[in-house]
Chain A
Amino acid sequence: MPINILMPALSPTMTEGKLAKWLKAEGDAVKAGDVLAEIETDKATMEMEAVEDGTLGKILVPGGTEGVAVNTIIAVLLEEGESADTLTQSAPTPTFPLPQAGEGGGAPSTPRPPAGEGLGVRAVEDEKVYASYKRQTVREALRDAMAEEMRADAGVFLLGEEVAQYQGAYKVSQGLLDEFGAERVIDTPITEMGFAGLACGAGYAGLKPIVEFMTMNFSMQAIDHVINSAAKTLYMSGGQQPCSIVFRGPNGAASRVGAQHSQCYASWYAHCPGLKVIAPWSAADAKGLLKAAIRDPNPVVFLENELLYGQSFDVPDDPDFVLPIGKAKIERTGAHVTITAFSRMVQVALDAAEILKAEGIEAEVINLRTIRPLDVDTIVASVKKTNRIVSLEEGWPVAGIGSEIAAQMMDNAFDWLDAPVVRVAGADVPMPYAANLEKLALPQVDQVAEAARSVCYRR
């Protein structure tokens, strides 16, 4: 039986990649362990090795092909005595559906419309409209934000694990070492508490560090410095000792990486006075808010999302583009129910709004953008219109952002509510690994739609 060679998934979030180059030709003998081809992911170029002995019978996807879906048959390996003539396989197709972890599982397999596109809105309310926009991934937007601020201010520097020579564990800092040199783009040892503390000290001395945590999960090693050394110092010095610093990195669940690497820190950091906490969704959010965070004289925790890094959005093509911290954005207007969300959950909320629209429910989707200070005014103004609110977040429900929003509604919008506030949140369990369980642990579009129906008394 000829053996199908499949396009491999080379990272937990990879759904497709470029087959850069074949290193074996048809007819070549292959031993297990031989490098067959080079595969480019969005993060790196990796070698694909043969796992069985045989002869490379037929190459189905030629070198240089982009966008090859994971699990596509890219070649066929012949065992001893088999002939390439017997092969009939031609059009490469995935052999089975991609595993879907969480809603959309990894980067969405179908292209999303650009932010706002198809919804009849690009900029709502006082969101400025720019003359031109360019299509960018969230990853590129973050990189550009850092590069622009580093060009503008010699005190800004980036440090973290693999940020320099490796070009970023998730390739967010790609190219920065080349442009700014090793004095300003600094590979650290794996020593989160140490380098977070070091960065706070540099912040005391007047520099403006950007600390990249490879993921925010590892910031738990350093949380004493984030809170005790960065957040509290201005206050306990009576205003004398500022610390301008950004702690950034991917937050929340990625895809199938298990309990210790899948956690949302929004609630943890939002709890602490002295910090600002930002959680962007789109590439425009990422760029405009990261620039604002770097310029801010206070400590800022900047919660990114690995699954969003590869997604593309329209970003204002304007050197002065920056977004205000503490201001939410209405991504979609609607009269019947308000849905608040942040980071990747904004897309889930927008998808739910589409389903609801077909049922005659117009949902207003608020992208919180900043978690602390929370833009309560925008939420309250929306609830005064819709009289109903659903809070959506990926993190745990207990003492979560939804709990805070519910309390704010009691304080500020009680008389306008026609239904109790409903929270949709991640399951109150450590993140499971199994694909089906992980999906159950994360908020899904249907749950959000159902919650919206319930507050509209429509079920």
Chain B
Amino acid sequence: MAARKKEKGVAVPTPDELIRYYREMLLIRRFEEKAGQLYGMGLINGFCHLYIGQEAVVVGMQAAAGPADSCITSYRDHGHMLVCGMDPKGVMAELTGRAGGYSRGKGGSMHMFSREKRFYGGHGIVGAQVPLGTGLGFAHKYSKDNGVAHVYCGDGAVNQGQVYESFNMASLWKLPVVFVIENNKYAMGTSTVRHAAGQELFMRGAAYGIPGEAVNGMSIIAVREAATRALEHARSGEGPYILEMNTYRYRGHSMSDPAKYRSKEEVTKMREQHDPIDQLKDKLLADGLIDDAGLKEIDREVKAVVTEAAEFSQTSPEPDASELWTDVLIEA
């Protein structure tokens, strides 16, 4: 692997980049904690799936992204939106169902889009975003814009038939797609051992000739490195690539999930020994790239952004009643 790394020229992240990744992961963490709080206060309702624990996956993928790349994911989508550059105020206000939300309060946690940032949702049907994302890849190839579609799904989605329909077409037509399986070990309450025949999810594309690899999804460095390799493969016209990100969510599947299907010890062990943010923090300190004051400064900045988003999400008005009838169709 070392030889290949050199060959593919996976550059070592610069100190500034590492600090940026730390900041992005911390933003997701604090944002999601705040969303959890607002949910508890009754300001956010319905489905709300938090990304806490999985931050290194999307931050590492975006760290390797090209300027024309597109991104699509399922309903655990807040982190993806933030790292794609979407405004935390607009995301949080969507969670509270306000007019200032990305979807003007009409989408909710699972349904936000930004064509400007090439973020294409936010999809609530498990696995449906995989053919949709394959279509983004199709469009990249059709329009020859050199982009790659980053198509995320969970370990639960890989048992959906349409995922394999997508693998087949993506490989057949050599579409520039990287399929990112965020394996957080549980499809809602059913562990991978209980739902997947064969635990090597990165092998699920083998029959279609799609290379795949398992990645330590708790390590931003490992994710970024694998992402660079996979994106380069897809961008060069070699077709799709599968990355199985072994990760973990600390919270339940959604806010209403007490997560009784796993032990407290298991969660504690992951938090204490494998937390992606703590690992990077330790590295930054150990390498002397930042000091405690620097970390505190980042903390303060991130907290201010999240506080502002939370305030906006409560002061932004509810959508006007007339909004009920708009955006059903584009008036030609």
Question: Beyond A189-B168, A238-B106, is A228–B327 a contact (Cβ under 8 Å)?
Answer: no
Report if A91 contacts B (CB, 8 A): no
Q: Find out whether the CB atom of A238 lies under 8 angstroms from the CB atom of B104.
A: yes
Does residue B103 face the partner (Cβ distance < 8 Å to A)? yes
Which residue in B114, B120, B169 is a CB contact (below 8 Å) of A205? B120
Interchain CB contact under 8 A, B139 and A207: yes
**Cross-chain contact of A297 among B103, B165, B332 (Cβ < 8 A):** B332
**Choice from B106, B130, B328 contacting A273 with Cβ under 8 Å:** B328
**What class of interface size applies to chain A in its complex with B?**
35 or more
Q: Mark B128-139, 1 if CB is under 8 A from A, else 0.
A: 101111111111
Which residue of B128, B138, B332 is within 8 Å of A229 (Cβ)? B128
A211 to chain B, nearest CB (A): 11
Q: Which of B161-180 contact A (CB under 8 A)?
A: 161-162, 165-166, 168-169, 172
**List of B residues within 8 angstroms of A419 by Cβ:** none
Contact B103 A236, beta carbon cutoff 8 Å: yes
Is B156 interfacial (CB 8 A cutoff)? no
- In the complex, whether B101 has a CB less than 8 A from a CB of chain A is yes
Cα distance, A195 to B72, chains bound together (Å): 17
List of B residues within 8 angstroms of A201 by Cβ: 72, 120, 131-139, 149
Q: Which residues in window 381-410 of A have CB below 8 A to B?
A: none
How far, in Å, is A452 (CB) from chain B's closest CB?
Answer: 35
Q: Which residues of A contact B197 (CB under 8 A)?
A: none
Instruction: Contact check, B113 vs A202: say whether CB atoms are below 8 A apart.
Output: no
CB pair B106–A236 under 8 Å, yes or no, is yes
Please tell me if B105 contacts chain A, counting CB pairs below 8 Å: yes
CA distance A335 to B46 in the complex (A): 54
A183 contact set on B, CB distance < 8 A:
142
Q: Is the CB of B104 within 8 A of A239?
A: yes
A218 CB to closest chain B CB (Å) equals 13
User: Which of A194, A196, A202, A228 lies in contact with B139, CB distance below 8 A?
Assistant: A202
CA distance A48 to B106 in the complex (A): 60
Q: Which residue of A lies closest to B330 (CB)?
A: A297
The answer on a CB contact under 8 Å between B165 and A241 is: no
CB-CB nearest in chain B for A276: B329
**Beta-carbon nearest neighbor of B164 in chain A:** A194
Interface centre among A195, A197, A201 (most CB of B within 10 A): A201
For B131, what are the chain A residues with a Cβ–Cβ distance below 8 Å? 193-198, 200-201, 225
Please state if A202 and B327 are interface contacts (CB–CB under 8 Å): no
Q: Determine the distance from Cα of A18 to Cα of B83 in the docked complex, in whole angstroms.
A: 63
Nearest chain-A residue to B138 (Cβ)?
Answer: A202
Can you name the residue of chain A whose Cβ is closest to the Cβ of B130?
A197
Known: A197-B132, A202-B138, A229-B132. A238 touches B103 (CB 8 A): yes
A199 and B106 CA atoms in complex are apart in Å by 24
Q: Which residues of B contact A228 (CB under 8 A)?
A: 123-125, 128
A194-B162, A198-B169, A273-B328 are contacts. A237–B135 as well, Cβ < 8 Å?
Answer: no
Q: Which residue of A lies closest to B119 (CB)?
A: A241
Q: Of the candidates B111, B120, B169, which one forms a contact with A236 in the assembled complex, judged by CB atoms under 8 Å apart?
A: B111
Contacts of B107 in A (CB 8 A): 236-238
Q: Does A288 contact B (CB under 8 A)?
A: no
Given A191-B168, A236-B106, A239-B326, A206 contacting B139 (CB threshold 8 A)? yes
**A11 interface residue, CB < 8 Å from B?**
no
Query: How far is it, in angstroms, between the C-alpha of A200 and the C-alpha of B101 when the chains are bound?
Result: 24
* CB of A29 within 8 Å of the partner chain: no
Does A240 have its Cβ within 8 Å of any Cβ on chain B?
Answer: yes
A157, CB-defined interface residue at 8 Å: yes
Are B105 and A238 in contact, CB atoms less than 8 angstroms apart?
A: yes
Contact A274 B329 (CB under 8 A): yes
Which of chain A's residues 218-262 have a Cβ closer than 8 Å to chain B? Answer: 224-225, 228-229, 233-242
A234-B327 in contact given A201-B131, A225-B128 (Cβ < 8 Å): yes
Looking across the interface, which residue of chain A has its beta carbon closest to that of B142?
A207
State A298–B329 Cα separation when bound (angstroms).
6
- With a cutoff of 8 Å between Cβ atoms, the chain A residues found around residue B138 in the complex are 198, 201-202, 207
B112 interface contact, C-beta 8 A: yes
Q: How far is the CB of B243 from chain A (nearest CB, A)?
A: 19
Q: Cβ of A197: which chain B residues have Cβ within 8 Å of it?
A: 128, 130-132, 134-135, 162, 165-166
Is A66 an interface residue, CB under 8 A from the partner?
no
7 contacts between A and B (CB under 8 A): A188-B169, A193-B131, A194-B131, A196-B131, A198-B166, A228-B128, A233-B113
The 6 A-B pairs of least Cβ separation, nearest first, read A201-B135, A197-B131, A194-B165, A238-B104, A205-B139, A238-B103
On B, residues with C-beta under 8 Å from A are: 70, 72, 101-108, 111-115, 120-121, 123-125, 128, 130-140, 142-143, 149, 161-162, 165-166, 168-169, 172, 326-330, 332
